[in-house]
């Protein structure tokens, strides 16, 4: 009798644990506790047990019944919890999704792409030349006399390398003008070059970074005059800053251009009248000029046959002027600061 009760208990418990839904639980309940259920029948048999064992068997039978009932309740709770979870986890495809974080190009790269596109429309070919360069390309061929103090002006980074017998010291390009000679060596005129590259100078403060960019335009052809330079500058300024903006050239001095100019763009806030942003109506863009005959000669181009113009600006500066950005410390551009970069 005792064995019979225990095996009923075990059978019931294992069935209950396997039950997948309420209907199965209901069937198990009937099978064991129903009117003709296995346990009900077994309990009826207790009357046949000898009197002295009857009490003990009775207690055991009650325990078995209780255990089965508790297991049934417990399994019912587990099943209902699972049902709720499934409802909760069901995906509602009409809900707005969680967007994965998307990156974007660095704001200076964005400016470089835009500048390239503007110049490619008027036939400028984008090139890049070594940024670890010889003195000859950066200074010598650009009409800087040997030991001219202008070499200091650029506060150049020099590479620990014995000087080349023809090209002099090895350095990091302090400006993209080194590309002028490289381009003249690469191809015969007509030349329409846009050299965008990293440039390096020994400077680091709130308005200077040791590594920045420049874009250098060079045009060499027959009968190139200042008007071509002015037209190109106007075209760039209109395309990049907006159709109402104008360019202005002022006399200046560079070793490698004659005459040389500084280029300004009319202020977008006051249109050249003068305001708090620009003070005198114009914002400074960079340098330009007509290619010096000595530079053409260094590039093996006959200055009696050809002439040219060149300009060199900074995309960082252009981008900031366009956006009306006043960056307190320019070094943040290259500091991988996501709070800053994600704004663009
Ligand atoms: N290389 C000059 C600079 O870095 C800019 C420039 C380029 C000037 C071409 C004239 C012509 O300041």
Ligand 1 centre from 196 Cα, in Å?
Answer: 13
Query: Is the distance from CB of 251 to CB of 125 less than 8 angstroms?
Result: no
**150 in the same domain as 290:** yes
Tally the domains of the chain: 2
Tell the residue number behind the tokens 């950005």, with chain if given.
Answer: 325
**276 in the same domain as 239:** yes
Ligand 1 centre from 317 Cα, in Å?
Answer: 14
- The residue range of the domain holding 77 is 2-90
**75 in the same domain as 120:** no
CA distance 207 to 219: 31
Q: Which of 275, 279, 249 is nearest to 264 (CA)?
A: 249
Q: Closest ligand 1 atom, CA of 217?
A: 9
Asked if residue 11 belongs to a domain, the reply is: yes
CA distance 158 to 170: 6
**299 in the same domain as 170:** yes
Ligand 1 centre from 225 Cα, in Å?
Answer: 18
CA distance 135 to 140: 6
**Tens of pLDDT, residue by residue, the chain (344 residues):** 888 889 999 999 999 999 898 899 999 999 999 998 998 988 888 888 888 888 888 899 899 999 999 999 999 999 888 888 877 777 778 888 888 888 999 999 999 999 999 999 999 999 999 999 999 999 999 999 888 776 776 689 999 999 999 999 999 999 999 999 999 999 999 999 999 999 999 888 888 899 999 999 999 999 999 999 999 999 999 999 999 999 999 999 999 999 999 999 998 888 888 887 777 889 899 999 999 999 999 999 999 999 999 999 999 989 988 877 778 888 888 999 999 998 88
CA distance 189 to 222: 8
Mutate to test the pocket of ligand 1, among 175, 200, 217 (most ligand atoms within 8 A of CB): 175
Query: Is the distance from CB of 333 to CB of 209 less than 8 angstroms?
Result: yes
Asked if residue 96 belongs to a domain, the reply is: no
The enclosing domain of 136 has a CATH number of 3.30.930.10
What pTM was computed for the model? 0.72
CA distance 231 to 233: 5
Ligand 1 centre from 218 Cα, in Å?
Answer: 11
Render pLDDT for 277-304 as a digit per residue (tens, 0 to 9). 777 889 899 999 999 999 999 999 999 9
**37 in the same domain as 78:** yes
**265 in the same domain as 132:** yes
Asked if residue 98 belongs to a domain, the reply is: no
Cα–chain center distance at 291: 37
Asked if residue 226 belongs to a domain, the reply is: yes
Spatial CB neighbours of 216, under 8 Å, sequence gap ≥ 6 = 175, 176, 177, 179, 180, 193, 194, 195, 196, 197, 310, 311, 312
Asked if residue 17 belongs to a domain, the reply is: yes
Long-range contacts of 261-266 (CB under 8 A, 24+ apart): 261/229, 261/287, 261/288, 261/289, 262/286, 262/287, 262/288, 263/233, 263/287, 263/288, 263/311, 263/313, 265/237, 265/241, 265/321, 266/237
């Amino acid at each position: 009798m005792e064995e019979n009760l225990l095996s009923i208990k075990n059978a019931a418990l294992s069935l209950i644990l396997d039950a997948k839904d309420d209907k199965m639980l209901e069937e198990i309940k009937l099978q064991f506790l129903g009117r003709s259920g296995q346990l009900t029948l077994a309990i009826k048999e207790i009357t046949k047990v000898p009197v002295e064992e009857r009490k003990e068997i009775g207690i055991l039978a009650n325990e078995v019944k209780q255990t089965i009932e508790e297991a049934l309740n417990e399994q019912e709770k587990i099943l209902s919890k699972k049902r709720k979870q499934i409802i909760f986890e069901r995906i509602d495809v009409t809900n707005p999704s969680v967007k994965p974080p998307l990156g974007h190009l660095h704001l200076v790269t964005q400016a470089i792409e835009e500048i390239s596109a503007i110049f490619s429309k008027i036939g400028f070919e984008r090139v890049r030349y070594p940024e670890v360069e010889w003195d000859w390309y950066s200074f010598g061929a650009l009409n800087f006399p040997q030991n001219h103090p202008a070499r200091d002006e650029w506060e150049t980074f020099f590479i620990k390398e014995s000087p080349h017998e023809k090209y002099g010291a090895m350095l990091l390009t302090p400006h993209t003008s080194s590309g002028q000679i490289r381009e003249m060596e690469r191809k015969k005129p007509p030349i329409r070059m846009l050299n965008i590259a990293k440039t390096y100078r020994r400077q680091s403060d709130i308005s200077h970074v040791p590594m920045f960019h420049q874009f250098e335009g060079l045009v060499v052809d027959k009968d190139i005059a200042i008007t071509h330079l002015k037209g190109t500058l106007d075209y760039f300024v209109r395309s990049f800053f907006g159709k109402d903006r104008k360019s202005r050239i002022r006399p200046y001095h560079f070793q490698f251009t004659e005459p040389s100019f500084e280029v300004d763009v009319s202020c977008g806030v006051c249109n050249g009248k003068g305001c708090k942003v620009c003070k005198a109506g114009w914002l400074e863009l960079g340098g330009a000029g007509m290619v010096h005959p000595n530079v053409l000669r260094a590039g093996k181009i006959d200055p009696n046959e050809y002439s040219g113009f060149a300009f060199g600006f900074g995309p960082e500066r252009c981008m900031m002027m366009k956006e009306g950005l006043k960056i307190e410390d320019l070094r943040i551009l290259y500091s991988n600061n996501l709070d800053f970069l994600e704004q663009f």
